[in-house]
Chains A and B, each alone.
Chain A
């Protein structure tokens, strides 16, 4: 029953995506594609942090693994869908390694480990510059179809991938494994006594979370047609974490809000800085930090108004509306 419901939602999402991409102007399609790429990562992260209780400051680096694998595969093989799959597989392998270490750690120690990953992987690409071409990064070449504008094609590819991720993760959430994840998060002793292998559940959760992050990174590389370490800095990991908290931890719909904000807030910041007449020095400083400040401010406001995130606010409002209708 749940599977059928998810299939229907995914099919409707696909139809909606197709219809929307035909209407939007190229830049908006590009933004939609970027949002879909971020959604892959936020959906995976919200499952890990929200449902399994493992904090990760390293998902930006996992996206980098996906992006670089995408670049190597695409430049070598040239098959987009195979490259996306390989990017996911490579990130899954890296996620499994981190997950094994992470399963032994809790709280600040786990945050510390994933922070190290967030710093180490981009640094790795600079250290081995012969392979990764240092800060300049690698090009990601592909041949777009002639029948569609490139942005529409990118939006359809990224949006379709995000829909697939959402479908798979929604099924994980409602599966036996989803219940095991939540049990481990809430009460490890009860989970163990119920026969759940806690460490195995944590490693698998990390793997399940890493795979879509890798796909998200690969999609970002596909959209930018380039991959460089600067795009996957620690700031990206922090943004991802902020996004899922603002959207609503552990909630896939919350991950959609988070991905939307990741695209919308920098856009809003650009509009603000363009409207302000400032010295070049101040404009440069604002350009680097204003987005993060606005994100932080949004987090504070959302936590005050809706501690469960934007999705909980939406649910509360829709509940009140339905209640109001029933009274009438």
Chain B
């Protein structure tokens, strides 16, 4: 199996103090890898650094072997990496349809990509003319993921998709990730605090602690170690 994402010796942070220390991470193509850890472990900072929102001070980030350190955030989505940030990042004043189209502004096949998202997320199709701020938490999460999918990414970075959502909605989103992986070969790097739901779909995972990767193993072993089954 090839690796779509390789991270080597990554150091990043805000100001002088590093939040991420010497991170090594490998994400195989077509897999779901989850990043677990307590609040403040550096999970969100890791995703922000991978997607270019935060510049690393040391280390390498390779997407399909291409070094991303000098690539601008705006270019990354065109290279096949989409990031759904924590808090969902929906543009509140734009309608559902406009939000989705934003995901593929540069694409010629944006209509087809948006239609595919409506097939995946039926509630969005029913509310396409509603502004983003009128959606429920679950619908906003669907919209944020949908917008990322319109870009037709090969690697999806998802930050806490279960945050503030009912367990039923979280389960639906996890099932959707599995479906996307199976049907389209999408690779997902999933940051979660809800270990149970993340490990229900992940192939492997890492546990972060104080800015370092404390454990990196299969999802089964993590389930055994942390969930007792």
Write the A168-198 contact mask toward B (1 if CB under 8 angstroms, else 0).
0000000010011011011101111111111
B201 at interface, CB cutoff 8 A: no
Q: Bound complex: CA of A226 vs CA of B77, how far in Å? A: 52
Closest to A178 in B: B98
Find out whether the CB atom of B51 lies under 8 angstroms from the CB atom of A193. yes
* Pairwise interchain contact B105-A180, C-beta atoms closer than 8 A: yes
Smallest CB gap from B48: residue in A: A189
Q: Are A186 and B91 in contact (CB under 8 A)?
A: yes
Across-interface contacts of A194 in B (CB, < 8 A): 77, 102-103, 105, 147, 151
Q: Is the CB of B53 within 8 A of A190?
A: no
Question: Judging by beta carbons under 8 Å apart, are A196 and B93 in contact?
Answer: no
What residues of A have a CB within 8 angstroms of the CB of B101 in the complex? 176, 179
Contacts of B73 in A (CB 8 A): 192-193
Q: Mark A189-215, 1 if CB is under 8 A from B, else 0.
A: 111111111100000000000000000
> Contacting A197 at CB < 8 Å: which of B53, B74, B102?
B74
| Bound Cα distance A185, B91 (Å) | 9
Interface centre among B103, B105, B106 (most CB of A within 10 A): B105
**Does B18 lie at the interface of the complex (its beta carbon under 8 Å from any beta carbon of A)?**
no
List, in ascending order, chain A residues with CB within 8 A of B102's CB: 179-180, 183, 190-191, 194, 196
Set of chain B residues within 8 Å of A182, measured between Cβ atoms: 91, 93-94, 98
Taking a contact as CB atoms closer than 8 A, the residue among A176, A185, A187, A193 that contacts B77 in the complex is A193
In the bound complex, CA of A198 to CA of B105 (Å)? 13
Chain A CB within 8 A of B92 CB: yes
Contact A196 B74 (CB under 8 A): yes
B89 within 8 A of A: yes
- Residues of A participating in the B interface, judged by any CB pair closer than 8 Å: 176, 179-180, 182-183, 185-187, 189-198
Give 8 A-B pairs besides A179-B105, A185-B93 with Cβ atoms closer than 8 angstroms. Answer: A179-B98, A182-B93, A183-B94, A187-B89, A187-B90, A190-B89, A193-B83, A195-B106
User: Can you list 6 residue pairs at the A/B interface with Cβ under 8 Å?
Assistant: A183-B102, A187-B90, A190-B85, A192-B74, A193-B51, A195-B76
